[in-house]
Structures are given as C-alpha cells and as structure tokens.
Amino acid sequence: MPLPLDVTARVAVARAVSDVDARAVVAFALAFALVVALVVVARARRVLARANVAAVRWRPKFLWRLYQRSARSLLRRVEDRFSRTARDGGGSGRRAFGAVVGACPFVHVGEAKLARDVLRGTTVKSPLYHAFEAFSGTGIFTAEGEDWEGKRGEVLRAFHAVGLQALRDRAVEESARIVRGMKLELERGGTREMETLALPTLQRLALRVTFGYLTGNSLAEACAEVGRAQADVESEYLAAATTLRHLIPARARSIWIFSDFLYGLTPVGRLEAKNIRTTRMLSSLALRTAKKDSPLGMLRGGEMHLRERAVRVGDDEFPKGLLDETTTLLFAGHDTQSATLSWGLLRLVDNEKIQNELRVSLFDDVIVEALGLPSKRRKKRASSDGKKAAWATSAFAPMLESVIRETLRLHPVAPLVVRMLSADVSSAEMTIPKGCAVGVWLSSVHRDDAVWDRPEEFDPKRWTATSHARTGSTGSFTEDSEEDSSLGPASGKPASGLKHKGVGYMPFAYGPRSCVGQHLAQVTMRVALAHLIEAFEFAPSADVDASTPSVGFTVTPSTGAPLRIRLATKIDP
Ligand code: HEM
C-alpha cells in the first residue's frame, strides 16, 4: 500500500539528511585520522631529530617475493648506510640512522658501544616481534615481562641441571654418524671427491643434536617409537622451517604486520599457518618422547610452562606454553648452528692454509679425546697431564675456537636484534629517547672499524695473538656470563685485531635477553666442526658463488653452501 505523501516526503528528507550526516561523519573521521597520523609521524620525526641521527625513509613491502629479492643485499646496504652516516654526518656522524616506521621512531645502530648500552638496559621486544608470535607464541623468544622472566629461568635451570656432558656425547654420536654417511656416499660414488651441499647436511646434524639434547632421546629412537621414518620426519620439518625462516621476517618488514586477520587470509598467511602446523608435529614428537631428566622433561614438570590452555596437535594435547617453547628451542637450536657451521666451512674453503692448520691442530691427544674424534693420529700435548680435558672451555683448542669466533664475527647468523627502549640511552653526544625502537645490527657492530682492524678480513689469528691462557667460555649457565656473550680475546688481553677489548663482539646478542643457548652452541659447533675437518678436506665448488647470503630468520648461504669434499689424507701431524 503506498504511503501518504507527507510520510513519503518525510522519509525522503530523513534519508537525505542521514546520507549527508553519514558522508559528513565519514569525511570528518577520515580527516581527523589523517591529522592524527600526521601529528604522530611529525612527533616521531622530532624524536629522531632530537636523537641526532641521520633520517631515512621507511618503505614497507607489499609482496614477500619482492622482499626476498632485495633481502640478498640487505646486510651490505645497511652496512654501507652506516659507513656513509659515520663519514658524511647527516646526523651526528655516528654509525646510526633512523626512520619513522608506522608511527614509531626507529633507530638503527651499528656502533659497538651504543649497541651494548641499548642491549644492556632493556628486555622489551613487544610489539616489534609481533610477526614471530604466530610461530614461537609464548616461548621465551617472544614472551614478555614476568612471563618471559619466569620461563627463561626455568629453561636455564633445566639446561644447567642436565649439563654439557650429555650434549657433548650427543654431538659426538651424531657428528660421527653424519661423517660416516658422507664417507659412504663418497665410496658409493667411486670417486676421490664429490660435490655436496653442506647446509642441508648440517641442518640435519644440528637438528638431531638439538632434539637429542632437549629430549634425552635420539631422533632416530623417537621416530621408531611412533613408527615413522626419520628421513621423512627430518625432511618435512626442515622444508617447513626453511619456508618459515623467509616468510616470518618478510612479514615483519611488510604492511601485513598490522593485521593478523588480513594476513591470515592471504595465500602467504595460509602458507605460514600450514608450515607452523608441520613444525609443531616435531615439537609434539619431542614432548611425547622426552625423558624425565631431559630439559624438556623438566619443563614438563615445571610450573611456568604449564600455565596456559591446552593446544591440540594431532591426537595429543599440550599446554600452549610448553609447545611454544619446544618449537622455539628446536628452531633456534638447529637453524643458527647449521648456518654458522656452513659459513665456517665456506670461509675455510677460501682459506686453505687456515683449514690445514686447523686440521693439524686437532692431532692432539687432549682434543681427540675431549671431542671424541676417531683419529689415530695424535700427538701428546706437552703441557697436558693427560687427565680430564676441560673440553667445555675455549682454552683447550685455541685454533678451533678462533675459527668459530671469527666465523661468528663475520657471520653473526641472527644479525638484527630489536628492542623497545624503556629508558633513555645516552652515548657520547647522542641520546636515544625512551619509547624509540632500536635495531642493533650485530653484523655491522662486528665490522665497526673503530673497534676492529681489517674488519672485512677473515683472520682467526686475531683471537690467538695473545695466549689462550684463561678461558673465555666457562660452560656455566649463569645469566651474567658477560665474557661469553662478548667473548673478548680468550686471554683477557686485546688480540691484535681488537682495539677495545670485549666491546665489539656479540654474536649471541648481549644483556638480559641474550641467547640462552650460547653455551650449548659452542659445544656443539666445536664437536661438529672438528669431526668434519678431521675427516674431510673441503674445496670450492665448480662454478658457483657460494657466499651470497640469504637473509631470513637467520642468514644462510643462499645456494646451500656447495662444496667439494674428499677424504683428508694430505696432512700429517
Ligand atoms: C650459533 C648459534 C646461535 C646464535 C648465533 C644465536 C644467536 C642469538 C641471538 C643474537 C639472540 C637474540 C635474538 C633477539 O633478541 O632477537 C638469541 C636469542 C635466543 N636464542 Fe640463540 N643463538 C644460537 C644458538 C641457540 C641455541 C642452540 C638455542 C637453544 C637450543 C638458542 C635459543 C635462543 C633463545 C630461546 C633465544 C631468546 C632468548 C630471550 O629472548 O630471552 N640459540 N640467539
């Protein structure tokens, strides 16, 4: 039935008014949002100007592929920028520059002392690690405040209770297995030498050692327990982890960081979720099979990690905190160590003389025994009383230690750590105000020529120019093992290349949120590198540039570290 005329007119007028209202409200809201955004950005710019750092423009990425292409040269570009700002000023002439990211003033630091001052004083990561939260959840890598503190304490206590001997034994067993496999492959090929990709092999090795240490069970045993082939479990996990190591940091630098919901709808977001589910299958296997007296077994009986709701993985349910921690530790453990070992081998390939010297240095009865090397060729160490080898310290194998340190100096595989400042940080004439985000580029700190002579040169001898009389690594799990995270020259005196002792070296970051696994990594890498170098000679691959970095979660050789290997026969002690 038609409405009376006056009613129709009134409805029409009311609609027109409400349309105008709606349009006006939307326009006003947009204008208001724009003004607020401009004010916020202007404020952030003023904060950067007050901090006296050179300003650059932040360009968010839209597509992760685009990010990947540019990521290859990321470290080089950042380092060039630091060199430029230090040389030409533009700010205070320091190795620092800033940009407004979203609405946040963000200062990048590539200078040793400033980096330390930043990392020493703050534990806050949130909201800067948001992109990592879907993966590591409430594990200590992304946890905050009391939750982080309590969980970190629990993890460190568990590591401490288990000790390093169990890790050393696991690393010896798995390294010997990998070496046997490689020898078999050489034999089957029937040739003196073969081409191989080091990175995938080292990923398997590091994963097995990390899994074995965390659970007290070998990965082989755990797979057998659930009736799955170890090779399949490893391949699935490593493929998923490799995808995630690109996807997650790409999201962190893209516009997708701002909305979980929208990101989850994109094909990339769905790919990320699928791969996270795959990595959780290994976490679930680790938790199901962990022995009571292993680190994970202890966390299972702890308190902090059991507080959150249960999460289902396959047929099992686990407290979310425990599952997240296991995922974090498995990933952090295998990815960093395999990347570092790959870079180490590539550096040794380019420096044949150092490779040979390292091999000869291993023919030493103390080292052979301590690292479980199968070598028959051993010399009695003159200074040794033949008793217990202090294998957990850096002092017992100076050449090996120096090669690892120098590798971590030039290739700190987690090159960027980011913190939210909860107090002003001042250094010389620069003050970075509270509320700023700071990105410390460890890769650039390690190339700061105010601290390092010939920073670009791979020179392990810079660490042995003075004697290794005092240990650099105590093997303890205390929080204040400053010497370890800074790892100054092991003698405590400046080695030839280090102008200011202890300031410019922090491959495991520094301060309260430095790496919890650094002592573990040092043991595993000593054992693994020694076994590989003792067994094989490594030479450059035919015609590939092996050293182009691929920047993701960690920095790895982009082509998987191609190498030629043959049995080590050339050198005698
Ligand atoms: C060569 C080996 C390693 C390197 C270079 C390395 C480096 C680092 C760096 C630079 C950080 C600070 C990251 C940040 O704040 O953004 C870190 C944190 C961390 N690392 Fe490592 N790491 C190594 C091995 C390991 C191992 C073997 C584990 C455990 C099995 C581990 C577990 C962790 C965890 C859980 C954190 C977070 C700590 C916290 O926020 O309190 N890492 N690592």
Distance CA 42, CA 29 (A): 20
Which tokens sit at 511?
Answer: 């301060």
Distance CA 463, CA 465 (A): 6
Distance CA 210, CA 222 (A): 13
Residue nearest to atom 17 of ligand 1 (CA): 515
SS3 state of residue 310: strand
* CA 490–ligand 1 middle distance (angstroms): 22
CB 484 within 8 A of CB 473: yes
* Cα 85–Cα 89–Cα 93 angle in degrees, nearest 5: 80
Ligand 1 atom nearest to 512, measured from its CA: 41
> ipTM above 0.95?
yes
State the DSSP code for 308: S
User: Which among 156, 145, 151 has a CA at the least distance from the CA of 308?
Assistant: 151
Phi-psi region of 548 (alpha: psi -120 to 50; beta: other; left: phi over 0): beta
Residue nearest to atom 6 of ligand 1 (CA): 508
Residue nearest to atom 13 of ligand 1 (CA): 417
Chain Cα centroid distance, residue 89: 31
CB proximity list for 415: less than 8 A, separation 6 or greater: 75, 441, 442, 443, 551, 555
How confident is residue 302, by pLDDT bands cut at 50, 70 and 90? confident
Pocket of ligand 1 (CB under 6 A): 140-141, 152, 210, 328-329, 332-333, 336-337, 340, 413-414, 417, 507-509, 513, 515-517, 520-521
User: pLDDT for 471-506, tens place per residue?
Assistant: 333 222 222 333 333 333 333 344 555 565 567 899
User: pLDDT for 270-295, tens place per residue?
Assistant: 899 999 999 999 999 999 999 999 99
* CA 515–ligand 1 middle distance (angstroms): 4
User: Is 515 flagged in the annotation as binding?
Assistant: yes
Ligand 1 atom nearest to 520, measured from its CA: 27
CB 171 within 8 A of CB 524: yes
Residue nearest to atom 37 of ligand 1 (CA): 141
Delimit the domains of the chain by residue range: 132-567
Q: Could you tell me which CATH class the domain 132-567 is placed in?
A: mainly alpha
Residue nearest to atom 30 of ligand 1 (CA): 333
Probe residue for ligand 1, chosen from 120, 336, 442, 481 as the CB with the greatest number of ligand atoms within 8 Å:
336
User: pLDDT for 57-89, tens place per residue?
Assistant: 766 665 555 445 555 578 888 898 898 888 776
Beta bridge partners of 419: 438
SS3 state of residue 221: helix
* CA 275–ligand 1 middle distance (angstroms): 21
Buried-exposed string 523-554: b where 16+ CB fall within 10 A, e elsewhere: bbbbbbbbbbbbbbbbeebeeeebeebbbbbb
User: pLDDT for 249-266, tens place per residue?
Assistant: 888 777 777 788 888 888
* CA 442–ligand 1 middle distance (angstroms): 13
CB proximity list for 95: less than 8 A, separation 6 or greater: 82, 83, 85, 86, 109, 110, 111, 114, 444, 448
CB 255 within 8 A of CB 64: no
Distance CA 440, CA 112 (A): 9
User: pLDDT for 497-546, tens place per residue?
Assistant: 556 556 789 999 999 999 999 999 999 999 999 999 999 999 999 867 77
Question: Exposed/middle/buried for 220, CB within 10 Å: 0-12, 13-18, 19+?
Answer: middle
Ligand 1 atom nearest to 413, measured from its CA: 5
* CA 517–ligand 1 middle distance (angstroms): 6
Probe residue for ligand 1, chosen from 130, 155, 515 as the CB with the greatest number of ligand atoms within 8 Å:
515
User: Which among 405, 417, 409, 485 has a CA at the least distance from the CA of 447?
Assistant: 409
User: Which among 200, 193, 197, 201 has a CA at the least distance from the CA of 175?
Assistant: 201
* CA 6–ligand 1 middle distance (angstroms): 75
* CA 436–ligand 1 middle distance (angstroms): 23
